[in-house]
Structure formats: C-alpha cells, structure tokens
Amino acid sequence: MDSVVRAKLEVGAIIQARARSRRLPEKVLLKLPFGGPHSLVEQIVLRARDAPSLKSVIVATGVDAANDPLVDAAKRVAAPLFRGSETDVLGRLIEAAEEHGLDVVVRLTGDNPCIDPLYIERTVQAHLRSGADYTRTVGLPLGTNVEVVSLHALQQIHGSSATSEDREHVTLFMSRYPSRFTISNLDYSADEYRDLRLTVDWPGDYAFACFLYERLYQSNPSFDLTSIVRVLGDHPWAKFINGSLKQVSMHSTIEEELHEALAMLDLHGYTQAGEYLLAILKSRLEEQS
C-alpha cells in the first residue's frame, strides 16, 4: 500500500461499552475521579481524542434498555453513539465503522480508563505504514494495550464461519487463523509495566483508578503511562490496592477485597476512593443481613 492510499484511509476509535457488568455493576458509568463530572467511558472518549490520527471516537453499545444511560454519557462529551447487537460485538463494530465512514478501527473497551493516547497514535501509525490487517501491542499494562484493525479484515471475519465466541471477542478469530491475515505485533514490554493492572473489573480496580486520577488528573487530564509509573514510584504502596487481582479475583469474597483496598487507601489518606468502597461494602453487608 503506497503512501497516497494510506493517507486517504479514515481512522477512528470505537469503544465497546455496555452498562451491565456482573462483578462491578454499571462500572462504565462510575465517576472518575470519584465525585467528578465524567464517567469511565467519558474519560476514555476524552483520552482517545488526544491521538491526532483519529477522525472520530465512537461509543458503540447494545440495544438493550439497560444501556440507555450511555446515551447521556456520550452526549456529555459530544461523542457519536451507535447501538447495535447486544451479543454480536463484531457485527456492532462493523456497522458502527461503516456508518461513520471508517476504514481502520482502533478497538477500545469501556473499562480501560488509563489508555494512553501516545500508544494509540504509535500503533495507528505503525498499522498504516505496514499495511497490516491487524496491529496489536503487547507488554503494556493490562488495560492499556491497543488493537488496530482494518475494516476489510473485520468484514472478512464476519463473512466466515466465525463462532459466537469469535463474534463476542472480535479479534480472536485472527489469532486462531493467523495465516489468513497480516498481523503485526508491537512489543512494549518493560520491567515497570510488569504486573501493573490498569483495567477496571473489580471494586479494587476502581479504587486504584480513583487514586491515579486523584493524583494526576487535575494537573494533566491526559496523563500518560510514564506519569503513572512515576506516581507509583513515589507511592509504591498503591500497587497493592488491586495488586493481588488478576482476571479472576484472588480474594475469597468481595467483602475481603473491599476491606483490604479500603484499609490501604485510608492508611495513606486517599479518602475519595475510600468513600466509594465504604458505600459499596455497606450495601453488600445490608444485602446479606
């Protein structure tokens, strides 16, 4: 693909977001920082917009009524909203890209509020230079890796015998059948990123995100991974707010996780995230009484 063709490609980000969440209900709508004006999904829109190559940043959700609050969230940050299949995420992304005239999609999810615009831009530029079907980063902290995929590749998957799992996880099909696609991997592994968890899946993750935003957001709303690493260097205890969490919680109960994160925040004077956790803990205990 020559530079003239590459220059004509329209690139945009599509954020997959649904209000329902089993482990942390309506997590994409939680305020970040705690008590602030914007939700997780709104912050992701605002951060992604700082990547210069993106024509637009679109919120793509399902048609279920439970997702109606995302309409207002998108409006608050003037983001286009697309509503499609609740379960066929692949189809939803393709339809959103086609409706907004995108040739290349940066695929984001609504639970990763620390995505770094610098790495979005680097990945987009590498994708355009290489002419790959799919470009992905590896080695960045959980919740900050970037996927860039060409619309024609998504359409190819859609027209194949993709399983329901492939349609839910979108790029899984390309990993299963790499010989059918041109795949580029960008390795950003670094010691300081090891075991750093920046996604929001559990209450402890949200507390950790609140801590980072409380420390960094006011001085620089688009704070990057370098700033996060610097803060954690100054406050090494903060890694333990959600440091024992993996994709599956290591705590025996949610109350145990909440107590541990609350104690850590209270010890170091970070009250905003602690207030949130305390409210959740009280609610959980009341449900059980």
Residues 6+ apart with CB under 8 A from 235: 215, 268
CATH 3.40.50.300 fits 3-189, yes or no: no
pLDDT at 191: 92
Quote the CA–CA distance of 55 and 100 in Å, as a whole number: 10
Name which of 63, 155, 57 is nearest 107 in CA terms: 57
Residue 216's pLDDT band (boundaries 50, 70, 90)? very high
Token match 């920046």: residue? Answer: 198
Based on the number of CB atoms within 10 Å of its own CB, is 42 exposed (0-12), middle (13-18) or buried (19 or more)?
buried
What are the structure tokens assigned to 199, written together? Answer: 């996604």
Domain with CATH 3.90.550.10 in the chain: 3-189
When pLDDT is averaged across residues 128-134 and rounded to a whole number, the result is 96
Cα angle 124, 130, 133 (rounded to 5 degrees) comes to 75
The b/e string for 226-261 (b: 16+ C-beta within 10 A; e otherwise) is ebbeebbeeeeebeebbbebeeebebeebeebbebb
Task: Count the neighbouring beta carbons within 10 Å of the beta carbon of residue 183.
Answer: 18
For the entire predicted model, the pTM comes to: 0.83
- pLDDT at 175 (0 to 100): 84
Q: How buried is 156 (Cβ within 10 angstroms: 0-12 exposed, 13-18 middle, 19+ buried)?
A: middle
Confidence band for 147, pLDDT divided at 50, 70 and 90: very high
CB atoms within 10 A of CB 286: 8
Which residues are within 8 A (CB) of 289 and not within 5 positions of it... i.e. 6 or more apart?
none
Distance set, CA 215 to CA 141, 167, 199, 210, 273 (Å): 19, 38, 17, 8, 12
* Mean pLDDT value across residues 52-71: 96
Average pLDDT over residues 62-85: 96
For residues 174 and 193, what is the distance between their CA atoms, to the nearest angstrom? 26
Average of per-residue pLDDT across 57-71 = 96
